[in-house]
Amino acid sequence: MRAQKVMEIGIVVKDLDKATRFFGEVLGIKPLKIDYYEPYRMRFGYFPMGELFFEVMEPAGEDGPIAQFVKSRGEGLHHIAVKVDNIDGAMHEFREKGVEFVNSTPLDLQLSYVDMKFAFTRPDTTFGVLLELIEEGVPADDKE
């Protein structure tokens, strides 16, 4: 397995609306859409910049992994995501090399503009870096 590219950089903020204005004014980028992901109880936006995305996430409540991150570490860099062809195969190969994952199987995310499977590594097995593996599905333009 070889990672194809760095796909996104995840950033946690306390106020997604304020961060959206900042990224628009400072970097000239805006989110494709603001979405909500119930399993993590978070609002988020994907901000495209060339071939890379900034995934900017805000806790939508007092619990959930994003809220816990803000409580323990504050705002800032959350993860780096790499694109893989086959997430199940990649997870198997990573495990063979001693990497552990937050979840035993990939999670699914279906958005209006893309479907994907993703999994996060345990940072204590990846030199303190939270890595996200992403396998993209069918882009929304190709959905029927």
The answer to whether 131 touches 121, Cβ cutoff 8 Å, is yes
- Number of structural domains in the chain: 1
- pLDDT band per the 50, 70, 90 thresholds, residue 140: very low
pTM for the structure as a whole: 0.87
**What pLDDT was estimated at residue 144?**
44
pLDDT in tens, 113-122: 678 899 999 9
Range of the domain at 103: 5-142
Q: Please report, for the domain that includes residue 129, its CATH number.
A: 3.10.180.10
126 contacts: CB under 8 Å, gap ≥ 6:
99
Q: What is the mean pLDDT of residues 81-87?
A: 95
Q: What is the mean pLDDT of residues 39-43?
A: 94
Cα 38 to the chain's mean position, in Å? 14
